[in-house]
Structure 1
Amino acid sequence: MKVIWTHEAKKSFDGILDYLLNVWSQKEALAFVDLVEDTIAKIKEHPELFKISKYNHTSREAFITKHTTMFYRILEESIEIEYFWGNFQDPKKVEKFLK
């Protein structure tokens, strides 16, 4: 299946990457990228692998790390990456990104 990233997904992914590069190191940032790529590869093979989101029942939640969740939707012919969420944030805020 084709994978499409929303603008918010790109923006939130870049924000996490910037944080890792500035606060941690390039090693951690590259490890995060690898985890995201591995997770997306699994989703392409098994789109329903991860649970349906409690915030929006058309989205699914893939835990990338204990700190980060990736939200995605299964469309007819593609997977749409919607948003990357820092799990330490107020969970009420995630709903506005999953419309």
Structure 2
Amino acid sequence: MTKRATSSYSSIREYISNRFGETVARAFEQRVVDFLDLLENFPEIGSMEVPEKQIQGFQITKQTRVFYRIKGERIIILVFFDVRQDPKRKPK
């Protein structure tokens, strides 16, 4: 996981916790863990978002999309993206 991914995940989780409570934040956290388990077994599950850079995306929740890249045997999580943000901030 990149530093940007770690930072964006933490920001989204903190926002959820502050806005909706710790129970909802833990549910979000569990969805991320479940997705990462699924991704480990099925790395091609996401849709190709930026073909020239091999960046794939997957909608984890209605508001959160994760972007990642497969590099050899590794899966690199690039960023957790709150889809309510400016779409120009998505990975390119």
Pairwise same-fold verdict (TM > 0.5): yes
Question: What 5-or-longer segments of structure 2 have no aligned partner?
Answer: none
Question: What 5-or-longer segments of structure 1 have no aligned partner?
Answer: none
Q: TM-score, normalised by structure 1?
A: 0.86
- Within the candidate set 4, 11, 19, 2:7 is matched to 11
Q: TM-score, normalised by structure 2?
A: 0.93
Q: CA deviation at 1:15?
A: 0.2
Which residue of structure 2 aligns with residue 75 of structure 1?
71
Alpha-carbon distance between aligned partners in 2 of 1:62 and 1:39, rounded to the nearest angstrom = 9
Q: How many pairs does the alignment contain?
A: 90
Q: State the structure with bigger RCO (CA 8 A, min sep 6), 1 or 2.
A: 1
Q: Deviations over 1:9-44 (max 9, x none)?
A: 000000001101111111111011110111111111
- Within the candidate set 40, 46, 52, 2:42 is matched to 46
Alpha-carbon distance between aligned partners in 2 of 1:34 and 1:86, rounded to the nearest angstrom = 17
* 1:48 counterpart SS class: helix
Which residue of structure 2 aligns with residue 84 of structure 1?
80
**Paired-residue identity, %:** 32
Moved over 6 A (4+): none
Which residue of structure 2 aligns with residue 61 of structure 1?
57
By percentage of residues, which structure has more helix?
A: 2
Q: CA deviation at 1:50?
A: 1.2
